[in-house]
C-alpha cells in the first residue's frame, strides 16, 4: 500500500479501502452523523489492524465539521461541547486527576502554532493547588500547561522536556495538542482527531521526533490534533484524479484511450507525482491563506472543549467568559 502523508486514522482507513476494496480486519468502526458534524470512532484492536492502518492499537475519534473554518459562533460552541464529550468518553481522566496539557508546535509558524495557542487559552489551576496545599477541588481539576517549543528552537527533543516536567509534576494524564497533516484539502481546518495512543511530533510533515506515548512518559497520553496543512503532491494527485475522471466520461468505453486511463493505478500515479515534484517542491506542504484567523478560532474550540472536559464546575457559559 502506497504511503500518503497523513496523520488521520480515518484517512488511513480510506486509503486501505481504496486499495483492498474492504475494511481492515482487526479494526472496529462506529459512525455517528449529526446535522453539522460527523463523528467516526475507529478502534484498532490488534496487531493486524495496527499494521493495516499503520496506527498503534487504540482509539481514534474523528470529528468532521465541514463548516468548522467559518466564523460561526454557535457552531464553534457546539463543536467545543462535542470535543469535551469525546474526551470524557475516553475515560482517561476523572475530576480529581492531575493533568498536564502540552501544546506542541512552533509558535513562530502559524500553521504549526495550534498547540501553543491552545495552551494560552486553557484554564490552568495547578498554582492554586500548590499555594493552598489542596489535594482536590469539587469545581476545578489540577491542570498545568506547557509549550515546550520545537527542537529547532530549543535544541532539545520535545519529549525530553515533557518527560522532565512529568517527573517533577507527576500528572495522572498528559494531553498533547498538535497541528496535523491531511491527505485532503477539504479536511484542513475542518477535522479534529482525538486519540488515546499518544503522538509523534512532526510526523505529519515528515519530521519525525521521539514519540510522546504512555511508554515514553509513564502516564497515559491523549492526543488532540487538527490538520492545518496538506502535502503538495496530494493536491496534484487529487487534481489529476478529477482530470482522469473527466476524460473517462468523454472517452468511449472500450477504446484504447479509455482502457489506458482505467489502468492507471493509484500507487503508480502517486509515486510518479512525487518523483516529478521532488526536484522542485521537495517536502512542500500547503495551508489556507486565512490560516491566521482560522488557527485562533480552532484554538478557542479545542481550549473550550478541554476546559469543559477537565473541570467539573465549568460549562460553556464559563469558558466563553474566561477565554473571550
Domain ranges of the chain: 9-233+284-323, 234-281
Closest CA to 178 of 302, 310, 309: 302
- At residue 152, the pLDDT reads 83
Give the CA-trace dihedral at 207, 209, 214, 215, to 10 degrees. Answer: 130
Give the pLDDT of residue 39: 98
Report the pLDDT value the prediction gives residue 265, as an integer from 0 to 100: 65
- Per-residue pLDDT, 255: 83
Give the phi and the psi of residue 227 in degrees, each rounded to 5: -70, 130
**And the C-alpha cell for 30?**
462506529
CB 89 within 8 A of CB 163: no
Q: How far is CA 275 from the centre of its chain?
A: 27
Rg (CA), the chain: 21
Contact 165, 100 (CB under 8 A): yes
The predicted pLDDT at position 248 comes to 78
For 9-233+284-323, CATH gives 3.40.50.1450
Q: What is the pLDDT along the chain (324 residues), one digit of tens a residue?
A: 445 678 999 999 998 888 888 999 999 999 999 999 999 999 999 999 999 999 999 999 999 999 998 878 999 999 999 999 999 999 988 878 999 999 999 999 999 999 999 999 999 999 999 999 999 998 999 999 999 988 888 999 999 999 999 999 999 999 999 999 998 888 999 999 999 999 976 544 445 557 899 999 999 999 999 999 987 777 777 777 778 778 878 887 778 776 776 776 666 666 666 676 666 655 677 788 888 899 999 999 999 999 999 999 999 888 877 655
Residue-wise over 13-35: b if at least 16 C-beta within 10 A, else e? Answer: bebbeeeeeebbebbeeeeeeee
Which 3 state secondary structure label does DSSP give 33?
A: strand
Write down the residue that cell numbers 495550534 correspond to.
Answer: 114
Amino acid at each position: 500500500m502506497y504511503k500518503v502523508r497523513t496523520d488521520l486514522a480515518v484517512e488511513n482507513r480510506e486509503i486501505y479501502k481504496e486499495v483492498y476494496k474492504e475494511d481492515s480486519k482487526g479494526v472496529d468502526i462506529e459512525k455517528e452523523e449529526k446535522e453539522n458534524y460527523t463523528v467516526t470512532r475507529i478502534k484498532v484492536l490488534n496487531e493486524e489492524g495496527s499494521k493495516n492502518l499503520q496506527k498503534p492499537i487504540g482509539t481514534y475519534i474523528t470529528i468532521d465539521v465541514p463548516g468548522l473554518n467559518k466564523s460561526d459562533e454557535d457552531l464553534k460552541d457546539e463543536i467545543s461541547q462535542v470535543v469535551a464529550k469525546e474526551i470524557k468518553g475516553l475515560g482517561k481522566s476523572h475530576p480529581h486527576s492531575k493533568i498536564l496539557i502540552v501544546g506542541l508546535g512552533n509558535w513562530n509558524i502559524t500553521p504549526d502554532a495550534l498547540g501553543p495557542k491552545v495552551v494560552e487559552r486553557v484554564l490552568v489551576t495547578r498554582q492554586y493547588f500548590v499555594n493552598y496545599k489542596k489535594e482536590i477541588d469539587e469545581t476545578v481539576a489540577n491542570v498545568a500547561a506547557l509549550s515546550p517549543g520545537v527542537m529547532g528552537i530549543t535544541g532539545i527533543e520535545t519529549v525530553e522536556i515533557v518527560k522532565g516536567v512529568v517527573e517533577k509534576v507527576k500528572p495522572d494524564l498528559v494531553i498533547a495538542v498538535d497541528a496535523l497533516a491531511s491527505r485532503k484539502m477539504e479536511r484542513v481546518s475542518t477535522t479534529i482527531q482525538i486519540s488515546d495512543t499518544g503522538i509523534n511530533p512532526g510526523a505529519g510533515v515528515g519530521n519525525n521526533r521521539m514519540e510522546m506515548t504512555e511508554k515514553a512518559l509513564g502516564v497515559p497520553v491523549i492526543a488532540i490534533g487538527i490538520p492545518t496543512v496538506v502535502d503538495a503532491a496530494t493536491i496534484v494527485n487529487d487534481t489529476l484524479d478529477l482530470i482522469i475522471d473527466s476524460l473517462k466520461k468523454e472517452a468511449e468505453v472500450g477504446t484504447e484511450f479509455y482502457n489506458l486511463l482505467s489502468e492507471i493505478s493509484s500507487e503508480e500515479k502517486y509515486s510518479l507525482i512525487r518523483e516529478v515534484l521532488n526536484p522542485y517542491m521537495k517536502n512542500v506542504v500547503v495551508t489556507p491563506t486565512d490560516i491566521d484567523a482560522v488557527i485562533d478560532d480552532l484554538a478557542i474550540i479545542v481550549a473550550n472543549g478541554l476546559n469543559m472536559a477537565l473541570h467539573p464546575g465549568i460549562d460553556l457559559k464559563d469558558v466563553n467568559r474566561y477565554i473571550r
